[in-house]
Amino acid sequence: MAANNAYQLDPGPLDASVLTGQLTHRSRDIWIGNDNMILNTRKCDGKFWDLVNEHLIHPRVLDVIKLSGLYGIYRSHRPVIDRSLITALVERWRPETHTFHFRTGESTITLQDVEILYGLPVKGLLLADTSGGLLKLMYLPMLEDITTVGSYSWGSATLAYLYRFLCKASQSSQNEIAGFLPLLQIWAWERVIVLTPQIVAKRDTRNIFPVGLPRGPHAARWYAHFSWTDTTKHVLRVFRDALDSMTENQFIWEPYSSDIIESLPKYCRVGRDIWRARVSIFCWDVVEVHLPDRVMRQFGLVQAIPSSFAFDATHFNHDRRGRSNTNWELEHAQWLHFWNHIDQYVWNAPILHGSLRAGHPPALH
């Protein structure tokens, strides 16, 4: 056969109506052989955990942490972030759908994961007001009355910020990722068996957490000693191969049984009635979309063909540089409607029985 008639593999997508950004997606780099890039992971909380490990936190400071709505993060500690695992997941993330595209189907981090794993409140006030000049200073006005800090939707803000950096990092031009990466890593450990280490023993936390503290959220179970016999760490090619060959029984659609949810502290399930809300989520200048209707199997419900959400697939190219005095509440007015009427946008579908299958179009609940 002549060379110009030779059969050529098409990396896809065969239908570009949904995945419109393939030409700039980092998965294309893998296809053409530029596949050695491991993302750098940015963090700004390292000193905090050094202090936690070295000194018991004063009871008055603990009281503030409890009031803030951020207690679950403190109580869970911080896992060692595996840059290769994070990179392998980012290669599967699609900004057009805000989901990971696995062989087993689409999956994503939802408001349910944020609240169950870290106890971050998903109901509450949005972080979308007039900004200051520096990112860290933006939060100072909220600390004027410490008793109201816990009234903010830290969970939705955390998820919006992580979504934004997943979208940015999925582009072939990027070499780093930020956001709350412990959430991403532990989400994967909960669901993707081929990525999950085996817990062999709990860590002794008596020198870190004072006796008598309220129980931690579900992520606290991963502050442990691990065995890596059945999986790996820090090897990107192995993670890629594991995800490439993952079978249906190696992905856990519902890691949080009803018994697990009911056994968790109340702060891990306060917002359960909006876990399936198809809405915009915010963190100051960042606006992202929460699309649980694409992953209904994660809630034990029948998955139908999802409808599109009118959102710019290149939204992650916009940032706050040069706009330090912008009133983001006014800027995002067109998207605030969804959050302000969130109860109207909770997605529902028939309960999934037996094998995984598609079904009738879902309805708003």
Whether pLDDT at 287 is above 60: yes
Whether pLDDT at 358 is above 80: no
Distance, in Å, from the CA atom of 302 to the CA atom of 299, rounded to the nearest integer, reads: 9
Q: Which is more confident, 362 or 57?
A: 57
Distances (CA, A) of 19 to 228, 304, 332: 35, 18, 25
Confirm if 132 and 138 have CB atoms less than 8 A apart: yes
Whether pLDDT at 105 is above 90: yes
Distances (CA, A) of 209 to 58, 78, 290: 11, 13, 34
Q: What residues contact residue 268 under an 8 Å CB cut-off, 6+ apart?
A: 72, 115, 116, 119, 217, 218, 261
Whether pLDDT at 237 is above 80: yes
Segment among 95-99, 194-198, 231-235, 269-273 with least mean pLDDT: 231-235
> What are residue 198's DSSP bridge partners?
227
In the chain, what are the domain boundaries?
A: 22-344
Distances (CA, A) of 16 to 23, 267, 303: 11, 42, 22
**Burial per residue of 153-190, b for 16 or more beta-carbon CB atoms within 10 angstroms, e otherwise:** bbbbbbbbbbbbbbbbbbbbebeebbbbbbbbbbbbbb
Provide mean pLDDT across the span 86-108: 96
What is the per-residue pLDDT across 127-157, written as a single tens digit (0 to 9) for each? 766 544 444 456 666 667 777 888 999 999 9
Provide mean pLDDT across the span 170-195: 96
Whether pLDDT at 20 is above 80: yes
Mean pLDDT of the chain: 87
The pLDDT value given to residue 224: 94
DSSP secondary structure letters along 151-170: GB-HHHHHHHHHHHHHHHHT
Whether pLDDT at 197 is above 50: yes
The pLDDT value given to residue 4: 52
**Helix (H/G/I), strand (E/B), else coil: 206:** coil
Whether pLDDT at 299 is above 90: yes
The pLDDT value given to residue 361: 44
- Which token pair is 87? 């990179």
Q: Which is more confident, 48 or 321?
A: 48
Instruction: Give the pLDDT band (50/70/90) at residue 326.
Output: confident
Whether pLDDT at 364 is above 70: no
Q: What is the DSSP letter of 145?
A: S
Confirm if 82 and 242 have CB atoms less than 8 A apart: no
HSE-up of residue 148 (Cα within 13 Å, Cβ side):
9
- 72 CB-contact burial (10 Å; exposed 0-12 / middle 13-18 / buried 19+): buried
What is the per-residue pLDDT across 40-94, written as a single tens digit (0 to 9) for each? 998 777 688 888 888 888 889 899 999 999 999 999 999 999 999 999 999 999 9
